[in-house]
Amino acid sequence: MFAQTGVRYLDLKYPSLIGSLHHITVGVDRFAEVIADGVGVDGSSLPGYKGVEKGDMLIFPDLNTFFIDPFFEEKTASFLCRLYTVDPLKPFARDPRFIVSKAAEYLRKSMNTEVFFLSELEFYIIDKCSFAEGPGYSFYRIASDEKESEGVTYPIRHKGGYHIGPPEDKYHNFRNALATTLNRCGITTKYHHHEVGPNGQMEIEMRFQPMAQSADDLFIAKYAVKCQAQKHGKWVTFMPKPFLAEPGNGLHFHQYLGSRISSLFYGAKDRNNLSSLCLKYIGGILRHSPALCALTNPSTNSYKRLIPGFEAPTYTDFAMGSRNSAIRVPTYIKNKELMEIEYRIPDATANPYFAMPAILLAGIDGIRKNMKPDTREKLPTNSFEALNALKADYKFLLQDGIFTDDLIERWIEVKAREFEEIHTRPHPYEYNLYFGT
């Protein structure tokens, strides 16, 4: 496959349970061996995977995910991988990429259709960053040159960054370079722009793809954004709320059931051209949104974004064109036969391989149970509430063994530990409130 291509290395990438990227690099001369036998990894060193007593696992490259990695000095062929247990050799039930492939296959079998996702990835570019914590100290300080430039500058007003043009938008060339890099990785983008936040908030929007490919694209896009920023001497953060009183970073998921040329969400004679199937799908997502939050908004920081005043949802509702609603139906769609909906609750601390299938399964549950999209329930206000909501409402995720009780339990265990790590630590602002009491 790589004869006379100049490729010297193979980089094998795979996600952890929480969605972080891990990799191992081998020489290209081992390609045939890797395809046949896989590469061994220690699952006990990956959050939420295996115990130390039986940590051995194998990864096998998915040849359909091949691209030349633009961030390696030596020419390197990159592949995303699937995880397998070794005794017996079978797909690992907690492998995120296995979950999303099972969900896509279930949809094809049960409804003879596909689901397409488009992701809006928001992030802040950071020029200066320092943070640390310990038994007697805790601090962070982050800044963007857009906010803290010395001397004469072109300021961006509070909440005034949306589609702002150069010279106020200092990062248009960075985003062009990023879009070019993503294209080299096989990821096509719809557009990019400066977002509302004045501290270097950006958005890059990808194109509709079948769910499994869309999840792969998002996984690699986060990797590419961080590496591209590092090449420019910058940092990026996908944290939902890195700045107090500034807009947060969301991960909006546009979606529809159907094909590349038609959407089952379109109803020519229905109100607002939304089919009854679409309304039931919306109903299912809204009904299960508090539980979905544990997967789509799994960080303790997530709930600092889901507050009033920042174009972020706080209730399970939907509306035509509203950016404060959990589900927005875009009103500017010209080709109504590609009708879509936009789910605005999620953020990029989610593992896309879990978030997308979970949203799909909630929608399918709504279709099967004829749910109406009239639910209006307050969203969880912290990750502990979201985990409790998931404990009370997760059966819809177990369809066809896509998610399992074991996986849900492990996810809750890992994320509850994160909550406790934050909950038990003194917060710097508590010193403002209580140090002198």
The set of catalytic residues is 42, 120, 122, 195, 203, 252, 323, 342, 344
DSSP state of 310: S
Which residues, in sequence order, are CB contacts of 247 under 8 Å at separation 6+? 159, 195, 196, 197, 201, 310, 311
Q: What is the 3-state secondary structure (H, E, C) of 263-305?
A: ECCECCCCHHHECHHHHHHHHHHHHHHHHHHHHHCCCHHHHHC
Displacement of CA 203 from its chain's centroid (Å): 13
Angle at which helices 383-392 and 276-296 pack, to 10 degrees? 120
Which residue carries 């994160």 as its tokens?
418
Rounded Cα gap, residues 344 and 108, in angstroms: 25
Rounded Cα gap, residues 335 and 342, in angstroms: 16
Which residue carries 């995303």 as its tokens?
80
Rounded Cα gap, residues 83 and 100, in angstroms: 13
Q: Give me the half-sphere count of Cα atoms (radius 13 Å) on the Cβ side of residue 109.
A: 8
Rounded Cα gap, residues 248 and 319, in angstroms: 21
Residue pair 20/39 in contact by the 8 Å Cβ criterion: no
